[in-house]
Amino acid sequence: MYALIALGYTMVYGVLEFINFAHSEIFVLGAFVGVEVLLLLESAGQLATLHPAAILLLVIVTGMVISGLAAMALERIAYRPLMGGPRLVALISAIGASFFLQDALRLFESLWRNTFYLNYPSLEFLDKNIPITTALVIPVKSLLVIITALLTLVGLHIFVNKTKMGTGIRAVAQDPDTASLMGVPVNRVIALTFFVGGALGGLAGVLFGIHYSLVNPYSGFIPGMKAFTAAVLGGIGNIPGAMVGGMLLGLLEAFAASYLSLLTDGAFGAEYKDVVAFLVLILILIFRPKGLLGETVRESKA
Amino acid sequence: MSQPLAVIGLSVYIIASCALAYLFPQSVLAFLLVESSLLLLYYAQVSGRTKIILGATVLLLLLPALGTLNAYYLEIAVQIGIFVALALGLNIVVGFVGLLNLGFVAFFAIGAYLWAIFGSPHANQFIPGGLFPLSPNWFFVFLILSVVVGALTGALLGLPVLRLRGDYLAIVTLGFAEVVRALVNNLDKPVNLTNGPRGIAPIGKPPLFFKPLLEYFGLEIADAALYPMYFYFLVLLIVFLIILVTQRLENSRVGRAWKAIREDEIAAIAMGVPVVRMKLLGFAVGASFASAVGVLFAAKQVFINPESFTFMESIGVLAMVILGGMGSVPGAILGATGVTILNLQLLKGLSLWLNGLRQSGAVLSLPLLGDLPLANLPAQFEPAKYERMVFGLILILMMIFRPQGVLPPKQEPRK
């Protein structure tokens, strides 16, 4: 799960060396688009009649496209005018965008549905469990998340390393000025990167919504922070790194949630899993800022 | 405008606005007019001494006098003061040193909890002896103590993270604030330090040491009426001290070193500026301001819980600094005042107004959409609930159109 969101951060960071603070809102937007599509299908009475795979595909694709477009719009409005300026300026603008989107989403949903806490309609085929042994049961939902994440990783890897646009992205990441001299349309590549990053965020959002079934405009903050931690853990700007980081962080948190109270005699319980995640972030940044699989972060002026 | 004319004009404005506020004690607008007189004063072409005299009259005499009519005025003034102090603290970190600190509210929380735990009966739960709550006289001791604790935590956080680049630093401070909040939220066990999400109450107020003096002059004022006034002057004093310290620092060796780091870190190193030590100092000074105001905040609120110290507050303070102009003291004051008024008065006023319209069954005629009966507007549509949107917009628009802020720092030529 974290791995998926982390991929979006990494995409944008890798190219622009810029932390997209609003990524967590793009992610939530994806979750909301997903729930809206499902609710619309439900009110049209199609939820029971359509093939499950078709529903899933429809939800995911709409979520990805809309989130991707939103990320592109965001880049055009809030970031591009600031790209030449100091780094702090773009960062603050990103934080502003993040806050603005949260309330914009809330406003929209309040006017449209009269509430901004939305429940995913339950999909029967996803609520099943696959028994491996009698003790080990895997819910279909989790399987869906894992498989999608792996497919995305492979797809992204091919896209970045094998296609022409991917070459463009890597060129811009290395040196935008030289890339533009070589005839790479830098602005278009950056927009594309935001689209891909946003689409990944949207995908993660839809899956998040399906998995936890309740979304609200503010639910992106904590997953966003953790995904960032995951991206940093694996080495930011590094696609397999984001994946590894996400999985490690997920495991770490699950262990913290279940064993912390055992280890400390019940003094510290599962409520400290967020603390653990952030401590990991701080420790990694201090001791190994390049991450587990990362290249050395260039020491440049802030 | 010639000088005497300007002075007369200003005085007339101040008197007129105060008269308005006196006649309509509930009016938000009248109060805004009084507040804006200070802004006018700042811009007016009059000598420094006149400015000080007029400003002091408004702040020390007229506002408290109006406060006796409507205690809400003083409440707002105190809130503004608290945020001004916070913004000034963050201004040092973001504006002078150029480090983006997204977890500023953590230091505020540390100060607030420091006094909350020991200034209320709560500390009895883990320190035996029934010593608590400490007598109100300890308030001032804790005010000083909080400066030290704030500076120490600031330095402690700064020590490992200041080697990081700007955007990483932002994330780490954000993470730190979340850790502090999570700790405060969960430290009701194994030892009940913070009482968790339920918060701590009642927190002791500062001592009324001057009460005998007032009684000597034959003034019998009930404590309940005295406290708002008292807090107002206390906040004023703290803000004044902070401004003093900030300005002294700004024009000192330290301040010049900070600005050098902000402008070009590598050049600063080459010039022999001890970068790490200076950054740490900036962090510590900013944190100590926030922590001191935290003590005051806890005493004013009587009740605090972790809800008061969310990421939202950090961003709010950041928006204030950005709006006013990074690195500018008057800017930070203006930004804090503006955003606080926006939050407390304008948005709330707008909400009330909309509610009133909704209940009266007014119909909004839009040229394109036709008639929209306002009663059909969902109750969720309340401007006061959308402060995030406002903060977000402020940040984006300011960054795009005026990154230096409304009142940018003056670039005085160095001799």
Average pLDDT over residues B59-75: 73
Contact residues for A231 (Cβ-Cβ < 8 A; gap 6+): A6, A9, A10, A13, A241, A242, A245, A246
Residue B372 pLDDT > 70: no
Of B169, B185, B388, the CB nearest to A103: B388
d(CA B323, CA B316): 10
Residue A32 pLDDT > 80: yes
Contact A100 B182 (CB under 8 A): no
Residue B359 pLDDT > 70: no
d(CA B191, CA A267): 9
Residue B138 pLDDT > 70: yes
**Distance (Å) from the C-alpha of residue A279 to the closest C-alpha of chain B?**
8
- With CA atoms as reference, report the closest residue to B190 among A296, A210, A269, A10: A269
Residue A5 pLDDT > 70: no
Contact A279 B179 (CB under 8 A): yes
Average pLDDT over residues B180-196: 75
Contact B381 A98 (CB under 8 A): no
Q: Which pTM was predicted?
A: 0.79
- Percentage of chain A beyond pLDDT 90 is 0
Q: Could you tell me the pLDDT band of residue A114, with boundaries at 50, 70 and 90? A: low
In which residue are the tokens 């901004």 written?
Answer: A116
Residue bearing the bigger pLDDT, A137 or B294: B294
Q: How does pLDDT run across B255-272, given as a tens digit for each residue?
A: 888 888 888 888 888 888
pLDDT of residue A92: 78
Residue bearing the bigger pLDDT, B148 or B52: B148
Out of A20-24, A115-119, A232-236, B362-366, give the one with best mean pLDDT: A20-24
Average pLDDT over residues A15-29: 73
Q: Could you tell me the pLDDT band of residue A302, with boundaries at 50, 70 and 90? A: very low
Contact residues for B237 (Cβ-Cβ < 8 A; gap 6+): none
What 8-state DSSP symbol labels residue A21?
Answer: T
Average pLDDT over residues B46-61: 73
Contact B189 A267 (CB under 8 A): yes
Interface probe, candidates B179, B312, B387, chain A, greatest A C-beta count within 10 A: B179
Q: Could you tell me the pLDDT band of residue A174, with boundaries at 50, 70 and 90? A: confident
Residue A301 pLDDT > 50: no
Q: Could you tell me the pLDDT band of residue B373, with boundaries at 50, 70 and 90? A: low
Tokens of B120: 């209320």
Residue A299 pLDDT > 50: no
Average pLDDT over residues A46-56: 72
pLDDT of residue B415: 42
Tell me which chain A residue has its CA closest to the CA of residue B97. Answer: A302
Of B102, B166, B183, the CB nearest to A87: B166
- Percentage of chain A beyond pLDDT 70 is 70
pLDDT of residue B408: 74
Chain B residues in contact with A268 by the CB 8 A cut-off are: 186, 190
What does the mean pLDDT of chain B come to? 77
Q: Could you tell me the pLDDT band of residue B413, with boundaries at 50, 70 and 90? A: very low
Interface probe, candidates A19, A114, A225, A285, chain B, greatest B C-beta count within 10 A: A285
Range from A261-270, B284-293, B350-359 carrying the lowest mean pLDDT: A261-270
Residue A73 pLDDT > 50: yes
Burial (CB count <10 Å: 0-12, 13-18, 19+), residue A130:
exposed
Residue B411 pLDDT > 70: no
Amino acid present at B79: Q
Residue bearing the bigger pLDDT, B199 or A60: A60
A-B contacts (CB, under 8 Å): 146
Residue B82 pLDDT > 60: yes
Q: Could you tell me the pLDDT band of residue B288, with boundaries at 50, 70 and 90? A: very high
Range from A208-212, A259-263, B194-198 carrying the lowest mean pLDDT: A259-263
In which residue are the tokens 């034959």 written?
Answer: B218
B 347-406: CB under 8 A from A: 378, 380-381, 386-389, 391-396, 399-400, 403
Contact residues for B134 (Cβ-Cβ < 8 A; gap 6+): B118, B119, B204
Tell me which chain B residue has its CA closest to the CA of residue A270. Answer: B186
Chain A residues in contact with B182 by the CB 8 A cut-off are: 271-272, 274-275, 278
Residue bearing the bigger pLDDT, B292 or B225: B292
The answer to whether residues A12 and A20 touch, using CB atoms and an 8 Å cutoff, is yes
Residue bearing the bigger pLDDT, B352 or B309: B309
Q: Could you tell me the pLDDT band of residue A165, with boundaries at 50, 70 and 90? A: confident
Of A97, A104, A289, the CB nearest to B164: A289
- Percentage of chain B beyond pLDDT 90 is 2
d(CA A7, CA A154): 12
Tell me which chain A residue has its CA closest to the CA of residue B312. Answer: A99
β-strand partners of B364: B372
Chain A residues in contact with B169 by the CB 8 A cut-off are: 302
Chain A residues in contact with B315 by the CB 8 A cut-off are: 95, 99
What 8-state DSSP symbol labels residue B46?
Answer: S
pLDDT of residue A267: 57
Residue A238 pLDDT > 60: yes
pLDDT of residue B283: 87
Vertex B383: Cα angle to B377 and B385 (nearest 5): 105
d(CA A54, CA A47): 10
Tokens of B61: 């005499």
pLDDT of residue B71: 72
d(CA B290, CA B254): 20
B 38-67: CB under 8 A from A: none
pLDDT of residue B27: 64
Tell me which chain B residue has its CA closest to the CA of residue A13. Answer: B167
Out of A256-265, B147-156, B312-321, give the one with best mean pLDDT: B147-156
- With CA atoms as reference, report the closest residue to A98 among A264, A215, A187, A220: A220
Average pLDDT over residues A226-242: 72
Range from A1-10, A193-202, B251-260 carrying the lowest mean pLDDT: A1-10
Of B167, B318, B393, the CB nearest to A100: B393
Chain A residues in contact with B396 by the CB 8 A cut-off are: 77-78, 93, 96-97, 100
**Distance (Å) from the C-alpha of residue A289 to the closest C-alpha of chain B?**
8
Interface probe, candidates B94, B101, B156, B165, chain A, greatest A C-beta count within 10 A: B165
